[in-house]
Chain A
Amino acid sequence: MRERGLRARDMLRGDLEGEELERYVEERVVMTNFDKLLNWGRANSCFPLTFGLACCAIEAPIALVGSPRYDLARFGAEALRASPRQADLIILSGRVSIKMAPVVRRLYDQMLEPKWAISMGACSSSGGMFSNYAVVQGADKFMPIDLHIPGCPPRPEAVLYGFTKLQRKIMGNPDQGWRQRYNAAGTEEWARGGPRSEPSPEAAEAYEAARELIRA
């Protein structure tokens, strides 16, 4: 934020020139109308994944989508998709146990960009009341989460409020890739031979190239 403030000051003073000025304009001034339209479309027709872990799953998606009172369809998100390849949004509803964490991570990886993750409830946001050997203390430990919703379980209205917040985030953020969103270079997977294997030379090269792209 401070950096942006300083650059804004430079811009107003006329100090930014050339390439810097172009970059500033590109980043800051205007998002093309087409991008805005695209983001509006993405936000208002999110396809959540049918994914429920524990108690929060009864409140959402079942009570949200499957209940006539708290209706997620009015936000366009009623098309629940069972396959992660077709879903945009994964709502981690429930406690993530140590046995389930790799499964959740794999599901998240199978989803295609652009994708978002909502951590619903206290258990997936931070381990909840279960501070013990069996629960991952927050899904943040192994996957990027866009929105955390507190509660145990959160009321459906709270989830809907969180969902509208996510919609605003989708609409406001021009860059959809989550690796860029979180500056998460270095999280790519490559075909591994085991938990501590080294990448093959080709994979390592590709990995470095991807890293350069993100840094640029």
Chain B
Amino acid sequence: MPDAPGLELIRGEVEQDHPGAILDTGFDRDQPALVVDPAQILAVLAWLRDAPGQGYRFLSSLHAADYLPAEPRFGVHYELLNRDRVERLRVKAMLRDPSAAGPVVGGGGALRAGHGPSSTPPTAAPPTGEEQLPEIDSCVELFPTAEFQEREVFDFFGIFFRGHPDLTRILLPEDYVGWPQRRDFPIGGEPVTFTYNERTYG
């Protein structure tokens, strides 16, 4: 893994091309992490993939975590891997929940540098209705492996990926309502019947 000074170097270099992209760096339990502004995530990922000397060309995993009650609530994690130097790097983009009476997620066209994929209109419209979903750009153009993984994140957390070719539910039935892996979604299931509560549940 790039060690702590290496991480700061990466931060410095990214800052030169894309100011304000990296919000924080972390080095927890020997695993480096970059916290990135969600509006510039594609720029940072592209830089990490293509800049000479970086070469994080393999996206091991794309997943999300719900940090409730901390704000911003959703963290989309990109686990990058450089196979030549055998180094892992985690990139996190923290998103707010717009339906929680907060400001809409930042990321209008004005902030983004002009990248081809993200300037085309999204092929899937965000679901209409009262609920507003946190949005982030899809990195399917950069890393095709993200296709299923972004669908899974959408399925479980309701995070909308702009530009994804087919953002539908993948593991739950298509007409399922709700985002199960958010922390405020109940776990479901039935209470187990024992003799003392048989009358209530049996």
* Chains A and B touch (C-beta atoms under 8 A apart): yes
A residues with a Cβ closer than 8 A to B are 98-99, 127, 130-135, 137
- 14 of the cross-chain contacts (CB-CB < 8 Å) are A98-B172, A98-B173, A98-B176, A127-B190, A131-B188, A131-B189, A132-B187, A132-B189, A133-B186, A133-B187, A133-B188, A133-B189, A134-B172, A137-B190
User: What is the total number of residues of chain B having a CB less than 8 Å from a CB of chain A?
Assistant: 11
Chain A interface SS verdict (over half)? loop
A99–B173 alpha-carbon span in the complex (Å): 5
Chain B interface SS verdict (over half)? loop
Q: A98-B173, A99-B172, A99-B173 are in contact. Are A134 and B190 (CB under 8 A)?
A: no
The answer to whether B180 has its CB under 8 Å from any CB of chain A is yes
Please count the residue pairs between chain A and chain B whose beta carbons lie under 8 angstroms apart in the complex: 28
Contacts of A134 in B (CB 8 A): 172, 180, 188
Contacts of B186 in A (CB 8 A): 133
CB distance from A105 to the nearest CB of B (A): 14
From A127, A133, A137, B180 is in contact (CB under 8 Å) with A133
A36–B98 alpha-carbon span in the complex (Å): 69
Nearest A residue (CB) for B188: A133
A134–B155 alpha-carbon span in the complex (Å): 13
Nearest B residue (CB) for A138: B190
Contacts of A98 in B (CB 8 A): 172-173, 176
The answer to whether B70 has its CB under 8 Å from any CB of chain A is no
